[in-house]
Structure formats: C-alpha cells, structure tokens
Copies of this chain bind each other. A is one copy, B any other.
C-alpha cells in the first residue's frame, strides 16, 4: 500500500496487528469474537488509556504513542511482580494512514518483543486519537505484590531515577531549559519509559508492597501507605536524581521529581530481614535502586530536606481534580 492511503478496518487489522502468537497459552488470537487463553494459575490484569492532548501531545510520533501505551501497562504488571504475557489494543484514530499505523505498530511491537508479550485482540474505531491497552501477566499461584503489605520498620526503595520525564516535559513546553547534552535522554524517558518488569519479578518473593510511579512519588507513595495502613518518612537527600536533574535542580527543585509523574519506576517496601537477600540481587537492577526512607506506624508521608520538614507543592496528576 502507498503511504498516506487510507485502509479499511479489516485490512489494517490484518496488515499491522495480526502476528503469530509466541506464548503457547494462546489457543486463539486476533480475528475471532474473542481470544482464547489456556491459563493455570494467577493472572494480573490491568488497563490504561492514553489520549492525545491529555497524556501525549497532538502530533506526537506514532512510534512513541504505540510504545508508551504498552509501556505504562507493563509498568502496572511490573508493580505486581507479574510476567507480562498478553495484551489487547483499542485504537481510536481520526484517519488511518498506512504511514502512521506502520510507525505506531513498530513502536508497539518493539516493546512487545522485548517482553515477549502477544497482541491477542482489540478494536479499531474512527475517533479522536486515543489508545487503550489491557495487559495480562502471569504469577505463581497465591503470589502478587500489592500496595497493601508494607509494615512499620520496612525500608522504602525506588528503582532508577525520578523526575526525568518531568524534565523532558518541562523542556518541551519551554518552561525549563535543560542543558543540550541531557536533552535526548530526558525526552526518551518521557516518550519511551522503560517498564521495570524484570525488577518487579525479582522483587516478587522479597518486597512487602509495591506500586509503579505514574502520578509522582508523592502521590503514589501516599497511595501505598494508605493501602498498607502505615506512614513513611523520606529523606529527600536520598532521592535518586540523575546528572540531568542535578544540572536543572536550581530551576526544578524537588517537586518535578516528586509530583509530576510519568516516571514508571517502582517504589517498594522491603522487610529488614530481607535486606540481605535483596542486596545479593542488587546486580540484577541495572537501572539502579535506592533506599529513600522507612515505613512508620503513623499514617501520612513526611518528607525532610537536611533535617527540615518539606511539603511537596502538588500531589500528582488527577483527572477531574
């Protein structure tokens, strides 16, 4: 087909989205009224919607839209400790050109292939640009990290670095001038976040609670502490900030790292008696992992900066707020 040519719904599904599944549990994939999966054990199921003009800019690269729509869902599975297996795609596009769809599916499958997940179904409609993905992962029977297992005395960790997507967004908006040498990296972190699936699976037998940081550490840590019926004390000096963030700290302060979101790092709690087992696994965390504070019995999250109390300026991203 020629670039720019509009394709009908069934042709585009066949052309870009039908691929032979790799997981043997897929008894029937795209193309019937439903997919059929043979499952024995525990499934983690999650779904997230990304809309143009809300979650990504109008005019965003189709590759990045496809990649990120899957990434944010895999990040949710990572937070449960689940192994990603399957996903469904609901795509609403104003007009289906071959070039856009080719780029979108390239981004989608680039990430799908890294994690060995199969597209098993979906729906394409003509409408405002938006992508909904539903992702399914597997867990050993009876297992699964939740937000609700933290106990006073546990340590609190985060993977990777915080605030890089926030820098990328602020830079692209012209609100913050990131030094040229860092720009490519921080925009990549915004547009193509790396879901911490391997790290989540490694944490499954160790962590007492976990959440992925989509709304900002301040909001998501508060959710995890509420679900656990506990509180947290965090030393801002321990936050994992990159060289890029350090270079922008005078303008960004703490809050871009705490309250913007789109980090897609894992925040998790670890009982002290498992710290040794965890330290033995640390080399597997190529993204880095940092102890930022501790779980306490008193509800609420308390932040301190060089011993002084600190209050983050805004509390994450909340639609309809």
Contacts and interface: CB of A to CB of B under 8 A. Distances in A.
Given A32-B147, A33-B212, A38-B141, 19 more contacts: A8-B319, A9-B319, A10-B318, A12-B320, A32-B80, A33-B211, A34-B79, A35-B46, A36-B42, A47-B121, A47-B122, A47-B132, A47-B134, A49-B90, A51-B125, A54-B125, A92-B130, A125-B319, A126-B319
Contact of A77 (B34, B38, B318): B34
B54 A126 contact: yes
A39 B36 contact: no
Contacts of A117: none
A6 interface: yes
A82 B36 CA distance: 10
Contacts of A210: 33
Contacts of A125: 49, 51, 54-55, 319
A23 to B, nearest CB: 13
Contacts of A27: 42, 144
Contact of A32 (B36, B128, B227): B227
Contacts of A43: 36-39, 43
A45 interface: yes
Contact of A41 (B31, B39, B95): B39
A139 interface: yes
A108 interface: no
B35 A44 contact: yes
B37 A321 contact: no
A128 B126 contact: no
A277 B35 CA distance: 28
Interface string A57-79: 00000000000000000001101
18 contacts: A8-B319, A9-B318, A27-B144, A32-B147, A33-B211, A34-B44, A37-B45, A43-B43, A45-B136, A47-B88, A47-B90, A48-B123, A49-B123, A54-B127, A125-B319, A127-B128, A128-B128, A132-B132
Interface centre among A33, A39, A79, A139 (most CB of B within 10 A): A33
A155 B233 CA distance: 70
A163 interface: no
Contacts of A7: 320
A139 B12 contact: no
Nearest to A135: B34
A146 interface: yes
Nearest to A12: B320
Contact of A92 (B12, B49, B95): B49
A217 interface: no
A132 B54 CA distance: 17
Contacts of A40: 39-41
Interface centre among A7, A39, A210, A212 (most CB of B within 10 A): A39
